[in-house]
């Protein structure tokens, strides 16, 4: 959480920083701030609460051009959302400015020590200790002062530092929070994520944990925390700036829902070979013996990625006959999980590749000698880099905080992994070919859902006043119920819960009355008859039932209150279709409630704190 951006050698410093910050807003938007060294001796700054647009207005009086500058968009951890807690934070003399993404776990102890030295704090944040520590260690070398300061910190950080002491110098350091250095002929830029620097350069160095960088306009050096000079790899990113524009769509979320047919084609491109009946995955480093040796697959993730993982559990058990589990990363990492070397495969799924709990769970499995595989969307993200091997989902950048195309791409990538492993194990060529053929038709079927959204929009209008909702599904569609409810609660703030449909009668049915909308995912699949009984139980108690079913199923229209139709596909792939109207429903309800769809309250896109 939190986005940071910094630059040295850029003429229009202020515009560069604010533009970059807007592209990082998905990381947090509680407050924002900017600091620039002006005329080589003054540290000018502006801060505001809320979106970067507010900072843009607030910083209007700042000069356009500074020698160096840093900026920050905050997702609050320590200290309330107000101007004094907004970054940058300064040392006592306001000669050093720091922006920080992460958590200083030992900030209380450090604060006490600094206060004993006479430091008076201006904010409640953990970050401010970093600025004062740098000042304490500054004896004519800013990079050295930062290096010594961060060695005192326990926790995570991605920081950028500027100072009037060294007006042409930008320092950054990383431990657990992503940072990328952008390289130009006569400038250098730093940011939490690539989009913020793409307008200027595609030549980048991804900093590793425990690295400090000192950049001037013409040069940069990377050091380890013990001061060893390093030779980092310069990479060329092939992301284009237009991939992060939302075109004619009013919100990123809607654009990303509509991206799904093409993003799924990208997930499958070059991997699915229907002609030869092959699945080619270059990522996973497992030979035939490794695949045959696997006795258990543990899918570990958070949020939407966990819901995709739950579908993978069903897929792997049904088709590979391998015992599989789907686990909350936050629970898994602290539970001393049993990992059997060579026999357990742990799959870590994350859109951002930066989720703190998923990353930590992956490290725990590696520590115990287990096999790790990542399914990530963001190329070169922390999980992607640290995992033993993996598969990129290639869904394209996802900016809306509510994850949509990442989910369908993850399920598709998991299906590809299942097929790839399956041919080595017990999957028959008949079933293999059938799944491949059905997968190839999914993009067109999503297009068919998206072509006419009249029903879902009309239903959304009815649901705008709702206070609570239930989502029910069975089998492959139980995780879709969880995902539909998560979408609804995170952007519309309607309390929504997902349940296995049959669990209803073990408690939640007590909530049913005419004011409780219940979304039941009821495609004509192997669980349909059972789900129908569950629907009847709700109708008997006057519940308002919305069914998502397959086209051609006319029976439901006479039983439930509203029906949304999706094309038919084999049961295991049905979630790739049933989830789409639920994404749209959440979107249009949030819109109807006048809410900030892409930046829902209290949330951030990448959860880099535990």
Per DSSP bridges, beta strands 296-301 and 344-350 are parallel
Is 2 a catalytic site residue? yes
Classify residue 501 as exposed, middle or buried by CB count within 10 Å of its CB (0-12, 13-18, 19+). buried
Catalytic (active site) residue 143: no
Half-sphere exposure of 608 (CA within 13 A, CB side): 34
**Which residues face 205 on adjacent strands?**
181
CB of 609 to ligand M6R, least distance (A): 11
Nearer to ligand M6R, 358 or 408 (CB): 358
Q: Which is nearer to ligand M6R, 73 or 403 (CB)?
A: 403
**CA-to-CA distance for 599 and 253, rounded, in angstroms?**
10
Q: Which is nearer to ligand M6R, 302 or 373 (CB)?
A: 302
Interacting residue ranges for ligand M6R, rule: CB under 6 A: 302-305, 350-352, 355, 358, 401-403, 486, 490, 606-607
- Cβ proximity to ligand M6R, 217 vs 489, nearer residue: 489
**Dist. CA 300–CA 368, nearest whole Å:** 15
We find the least distance from the C-beta atom of residue 185 to ligand M6R, in angstroms, to be 34
Whether residue 565 contacts residue 448, with contact meaning beta carbons closer than 8 Å, is answered with: no
Dihedral of CA atoms 7, 9, 11, 14 in degrees, nearest 10, equals: 20
Residue with tokens 């600091």: 35
Tokens 């309250």 belong to residue: 601
- CB of 208 within 8 A of CB of 244? no
Least separation in angstroms between CB 404 and ligand M6R = 8
Position closest to ligand M6R via CB: 303
CB closer to ligand M6R out of 85 and 177: 177
Tell me the pairing of strands 155-163 and 96-104: antiparallel
Of 302 and 538, which CB lies nearer to ligand M6R in the complex structure? 302
Catalytic residue from among 22, 487, 524, 605 = 605
Q: Which one, 86 or 481, has the nearer CB to ligand M6R?
A: 481
d(CA 110, CA 118): 13
Least distance (Å) from ligand M6R to the CB of residue 3? Answer: 15
CB of 348 to ligand M6R, least distance (A): 9
DSSP label at residue 577: H
CB of 210 to ligand M6R, least distance (A): 23
Count CA within 13 A, CB hemisphere, residue 250.
8
Q: Closest separation between CB of residue 63 and ligand M6R, Å?
A: 37
Cα–Cα nearest to 66, from 10, 131, 23: 10
What pairs with residue 517 in β-bridges? 544
Radius of gyration of the chain (CA): 25
**3 state DSSP class of 400:** coil
**45 CB-near residues (< 8 Å, 6+ apart):** 33, 34, 35, 36, 62, 88, 90, 97
Known catalytic residues are: 2, 605
């Amino acid at each position: 959480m939190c986005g940071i951006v910094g630059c040295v050698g850029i003429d229009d410093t202020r515009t560069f920083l604010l533009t970059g910050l807007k592209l990082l807003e998905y990381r947090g938007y509680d407050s924002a701030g900017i600091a620039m060294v002006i005329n080589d001796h003054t540290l000018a700054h502006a801060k505001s609460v809320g979106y970067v647009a507010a900072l843009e207005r607030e910083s209007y009086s700042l000069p356009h051009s500074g020698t160096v500058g840093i900026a920050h968009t905050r997702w609050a951890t320590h200290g309330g959302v107000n101007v004094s807690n907004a970054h940058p934070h300064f040392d006592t003399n306001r000669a050093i400015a720091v922006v920080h993404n992460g958590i200083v776990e030992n900030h209380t102890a450090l604060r006490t020590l600094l206060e004993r030295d006479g430091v008076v704090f201006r904010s409640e944040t953990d970050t401010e200790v970093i600025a004062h520590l740098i000042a304490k260690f500054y004896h004519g070398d800013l990079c050295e002062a930062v290096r010594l300061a961060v060695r005192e910190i326990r926790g995570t950080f991605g920081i950028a530092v500027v100072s009037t002491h060294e007006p042409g110098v930008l320092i950054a350091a990383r431990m657990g929070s992503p940072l990328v250095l952008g390289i130009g002929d006569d400038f250098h830029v730093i940011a939490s994520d690539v989009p913020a620097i793409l307008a200027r350069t595609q030549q980048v160095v991804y900093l590793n944990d425990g690295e400090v960088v000192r950049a001037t306009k013409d040069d940069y050096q990377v050091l380890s925390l013990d001061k060893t000079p390093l030779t980092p790899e310069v990479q060329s990113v092939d992301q284009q700036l237009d991939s992060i524009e939302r075109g004619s769509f009013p919100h990123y979320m809607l654009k990303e829902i509509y991206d799904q047919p093409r993003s799924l084609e990208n997930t499958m491109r070059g991997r699915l070979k229907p002609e030869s009946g092959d699945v080619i995955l270059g990522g996973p480093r497992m030979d035939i013996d490794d695949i045959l040796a696997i006795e258990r697959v543990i899918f570990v993730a958070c949020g939407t990625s966990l819901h995709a993982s739950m579908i993978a559990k069903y897929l792997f058990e049904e088709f590979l006959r391998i015992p599989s589990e789907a686990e909350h990363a936050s629970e898994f990492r602290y539970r001393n999980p049993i990992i059997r070397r060579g026999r357990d495969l742990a799959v870590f799924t994350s859109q951002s590749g930066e989720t703190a709990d998923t990353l930590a769970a992956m490290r725990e499995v590696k520590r115990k000698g287990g096999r790790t595989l990542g399914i990530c969307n963001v190329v070169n993200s922390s999980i992607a880099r640290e995992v033993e091997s993996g598969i990129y989902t290639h869904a394209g950048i996802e900016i809306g905080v509510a994850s949509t195309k990442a989910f369908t791409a993850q399920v598709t990538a998991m299906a590809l992994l299942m097929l790839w492993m399956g041919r080595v194990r017990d999957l028959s060529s008949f079933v293999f070919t059938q799944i491949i053929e059905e997968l190839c038709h999914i993009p067109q079927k999503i297009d068919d859902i998206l072509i006419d959204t009249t029903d879902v929009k009309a239903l959304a209008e009815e649901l705008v006043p709702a206070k609570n909702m239930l989502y029910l599904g069975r089998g492959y569609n139980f995780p879709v119920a969880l995902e539909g409810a998560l979408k609804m609660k995170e952007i519309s703030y309607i309390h929504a819960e997902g349940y296995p449909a049959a669990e209803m009668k073990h408690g939640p049915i007590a909530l049913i009355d005419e004011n409780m909308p219940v979304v039941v995912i009821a495609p004509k699949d192997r669980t349909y008859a059972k789900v129908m009984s569950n629907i009847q139980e709700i109708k008997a108690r006057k519940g308002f039932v919305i069914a998502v079913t397959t086209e051609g199923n006319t029976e439901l229209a006479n039983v439930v209150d509203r029906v949304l139709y999706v094309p038919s596909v084999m049961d295991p792939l049905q979630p790739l279709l049933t989830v789409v109207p639920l994404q749209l429903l959440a979107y249009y309800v949030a819109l109807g409630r006048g809410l900030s769809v892409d930046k829902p309250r209290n949330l951030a896109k990448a959860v880099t704190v535990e």
